[in-house]
Amino acid sequence: MEKEMNFWDLCRACGQAVKNGCRTVCGWLATLVRLTYRMWWIVLPVLILAIAAAFYYTRQDNLTFKVRAVALLNGPSIEQFEQRFAPFRSGQNFGEAEVAEYVLDFVARDFRTYRVIDVYADSLPDYIDLKCKTLPTDTINVQMHDRLCVEFRMKSRDLHRLADLERKMLSYLNADQAMQTAYAAYKPDLERQVRFNHEQLEKLDSLTSQYYFHSTPGASLTAISNGMILSGDRRVYIFLKPIYEQQARTERVDQRAALATAPVVLENHFAVQPAPVNGRRRCLVLFALFGWFAGCVLAALIEQRKRLIAWLKQ
């Protein structure tokens, strides 16, 4: 009859597994250290070669940086943008587009897109989901449908061509017929929103002027309470807060209309991230560990060469 495992038995089993794993790793490290001590004349040159390769890989003109910008979609959907953006990922099906030379010659590579997240439900971007942790069904961290973050990598020796790459990339994206159609349907609706918000702001301003400057109540001001003026037997609302809110909405719509000059525009130019992908400190550590391990493997093969040859002859 099997004994039923309770919570404490499970904790002891997990602890024992972790303990055994740590012992195994420490045993492997001890074996590599002893092998390094015995065969240092093999491990050390390989380690030096790895460090030299790290210095060469991280030279100034070979430093690789991430380049990032937020694309604003004026009408096209995320799916339409991704379909048009697909050649940048695969490096194929560009046709005769001028931007193809940058992708095919690996001047710019590792193209990716990330969703832009709206946390406060105010139609304003709050952060970029670089770890791809949000879901389309998330009602708190909402994925915006009119913005995407575009990212790729360039080496420092090619950064002077970034402005030309940006121009040709936008030209290629905006040449898509489906995106042009979506933009043509979106532009009149955006213009109606601009007119509506300006009309609402003018109405609030005229109401404020009428109540504050042209109203002649029969009694003098008695109190201010809960956002309104109690003037005799009349109640006159204070419109300051609605005016500020409408002004903010009008400014956002005006800004959006000013940017809506094409199906796809950039809210900001492509910005180069300050920290390189292949930074010298990080690469030195990684290359040194790899060189040490490779040297130990080579030393073990040389040390056990007689057994290996005998095994191969069987």
> Is 223 within a domain?
yes
The whole domain housing 108 covers: 60-176+263-272
Clarify whether residues 99 and 169 are in a common domain. yes
Burial (0-12, 13-18, 19+ Cβ within 10 Å), 165: buried
Specify the CATH number for the domain of residue 149: 3.30.70
> Is 172 within a domain?
yes
pLDDT of 221 above 50:
no
**Looking at residue 57, what is its pLDDT?**
93
> Is 45 within a domain?
no
> Is 31 within a domain?
no
> Is 249 within a domain?
yes
> Is 280 within a domain?
no
Clarify whether residues 268 and 222 are in a common domain. no
Q: How confident is the model at residue 174 (pLDDT cuts 50, 70, 90)?
A: very high
Clarify whether residues 167 and 200 are in a common domain. no
Clarify whether residues 114 and 158 are in a common domain. yes
Q: What is the pLDDT of residues 9-47, one digit of tens each?
A: 888 889 989 999 999 989 888 888 898 888 889 999 999
Last residue of one domain, picked from the residues 238, 259, 280: 259
Q: What is the pLDDT of residues 90-123, one digit of tens each?
A: 988 888 888 999 998 899 999 999 999 999 888 8
**The whole model's pTM is what?**
0.79
> Is 148 within a domain?
yes
> Is 48 within a domain?
no
Clarify whether residues 163 and 70 are in a common domain. yes
- Dist. CA 129–CA 117, nearest whole Å: 7
